[in-house]
Amino acid sequence: MGDDPGRLYRLDGVAHIAGVINDEVQKFAVNCTWFQETFAECPDGAEAYIMMLLGTQLFADKSGNRIHIRWLPYVARLEEMGRYSWASAALAWLYRCMCRVANRHVVKLAGPLQLLQSWILWRFPTLRPSGYDEISWPLASRWSGYNPGISNKGPRVQMARMKIDLLQPRQFIWMPYSALDVIQVVHPEVLEPRHTMLWRCRTSLIYFVVLEWHQVDRVLPQFGGVQPIPSPVLNIDFLMSKDGRGGDRWFPAQYPEWHLHWQERADHILQFDIVPDPGPSHEFLTWWYQHGKRFLSPEMLLGDPRGVPIPDEATQRGAGRLPDMDRVEDVLDRRCIERRA
């Protein structure tokens, strides 16, 4: 380290950032506007920009205007940032945010919403805005200029629900990134086996105190397989209550098995048949018809859905070879026990 002037410069720059923001820190975070105005023209702009990217895009919270100082140690070691799986951490944070917003008392959604929007628009052609046909890298930049605004929010939500309810079997694209015009712009490093294997790993996703489960066995058509009846979900309600406060701050020591499972992710790759026509199996559709909610819109708009059979076209898929699934033990919800203690 003593022979690396670039690293010494970065450490000096991060030390400068830490010294400047010291008086601005409130609850381990600083104001975004102040942060941007202070470091926009400084030599430390690169480290500050990465902190802004992490704190306001990939791992944004509902405040929308605060940056956590937890990112300082990471920008101090830029050469090591590539060793972390930022994609799986962002996915864990998005899962946690979507879980929280499912509570009827929560009205705002945080997380990497640009990536969620991109996922939706790539797979639902009927929801796409017109005029966004140019494909470039990164793939999410295709929709960078799309902003529906907030006017007529109620009718827009109702219309989106109606479009989803009226979807036909071929109006959802399971593998949009497999098209030739998409592969031509994808960075070659993304398609290396060390990255692609993670797509099919049934493992833990970790973002500091946030632990989620990668339920890849429930979306096999996205990888070219046929979807069987899903296995029961893990009971990780107890983990959902963890927010890094109190005695839960050093999470690796409290739940080492989850971190070990991530370290051994290469041993938990699903193996299944790749078919020319991926999608849900007939058994899955029958199961889903019995347990799922088929429509989002009120019955007065669509009529009684129980009288609408599943189209034959949606059931004509072979079963394929079912994946070999690994499963960790449930983490039972012990919050009530802890309260009594």
Q: What integer pLDDT is reported at residue 13 of this predicted model?
A: 56
3-state SS track over the chain: CCCCHHHHHHHHHHHHHHHHHHHHCECCEEEHHHHHHHHCCCCCHHHHHHHHHHHHHHCCCCCCCEEEHHHHHHHCCHHHHHHCCHHHHHHHHHHHHHHHHCCCCCCCCCCCHHHHHHHHHHHCHHHCCCCCCCCCCCHHHHHCCCCCCCCCHHHHHHHHHHHHHCCCHHHCCCCHHHCHHHHCCCCHHHHCHHHHHHHCECCEEEECCEEEECCHHHCHHHHCCEECCCCCCCCCHHHHCCCCCHHHCCHHHHCHHHHHHHHCHHHCECCCCCCCCCEECHHHHHHHHHHCCCCCCCHHHHCCHHHCCCCHHHHCCCCCCCCCCCCCCCCCCCHHHHHHC
With 80 as the cut, is the pLDDT of residue 241 above it?
Answer: no
Higher pLDDT, residue 191 or 325:
191
What percent of the chain is modeled with pLDDT above 90?
30
Q: What integer pLDDT is reported at residue 7 of this predicted model?
A: 47
Per mean pLDDT, which range of 6-10, 38-42, 167-171, 227-231 is the poorest? Answer: 6-10
Higher pLDDT, residue 37 or 56:
56
241-250 average pLDDT score: 63
Q: How confident is the model at residue 31 (pLDDT cuts 50, 70, 90)?
A: confident
Q: How confident is the model at residue 225 (pLDDT cuts 50, 70, 90)?
A: very high
With 80 as the cut, is the pLDDT of residue 254 above it?
Answer: no
58-85 average pLDDT score: 86
What percent of the chain is modeled with pLDDT above 70?
77
Q: Angle at Cα 222 formed by Cα 216 and Cα 225, nearest 5°?
A: 85
CA distance 66 to 68: 7
With 80 as the cut, is the pLDDT of residue 251 above it?
Answer: no
Nearest CA to 67 among 49, 83, 42?
A: 49
Burial readout 83-105 (b: 16 or more C-beta within 10 A, e: otherwise): eebebbbbbbbbbbbeebeeeee
CA distance 276 to 224: 7
Please list the residues that pair with 226 across neighbouring strands.
Answer: 279
Q: What integer pLDDT is reported at residue 45 of this predicted model?
A: 66
69-79 average pLDDT score: 85
Radius of gyration of the chain (CA): 23
With 50 as the cut, is the pLDDT of residue 6 above it?
Answer: no
Domain ranges of the chain: 1-84, 85-340
255-314, pLDDT tens digit by residue? 788 889 999 999 999 999 999 889 999 999 989 888 888 888 877 666 555 556 667 766
CA distance 35 to 225: 46
102-159, pLDDT tens digit by residue? 888 888 889 999 999 999 999 999 999 989 999 999 999 999 888 876 655 667 788 8
CA distance 50 to 323: 39
Q: What integer pLDDT is reported at residue 1 of this predicted model?
A: 38
Higher pLDDT, residue 242 or 5:
242
Tokens found for residue 151: 């006017």
CA distance 191 to 197: 9
Q: What integer pLDDT is reported at residue 115 of this predicted model?
A: 92
pTM, two decimal places: 0.82
**Mean pLDDT over each residue of the chain, to the nearest integer:** 81
Burial readout 124-142 (b: 16 or more C-beta within 10 A, e: otherwise): beeebeeeeeeeeeebbeb
With 70 as the cut, is the pLDDT of residue 65 above it?
Answer: yes
Ramachandran area for residue 111 (φ above 0: left; ψ -120 to 50: alpha; else beta): left
With 70 as the cut, is the pLDDT of residue 253 above it?
Answer: yes
Nearest CA to 185 among 136, 140, 119?
A: 136
Q: How confident is the model at residue 224 (pLDDT cuts 50, 70, 90)?
A: very high
Please list the residues that pair with 201 across neighbouring strands.
Answer: 269
With 90 as the cut, is the pLDDT of residue 92 above it?
Answer: yes
Per mean pLDDT, which range of 10-14, 22-26, 281-285 is the poorest? Answer: 10-14
CA distance 148 to 200: 33
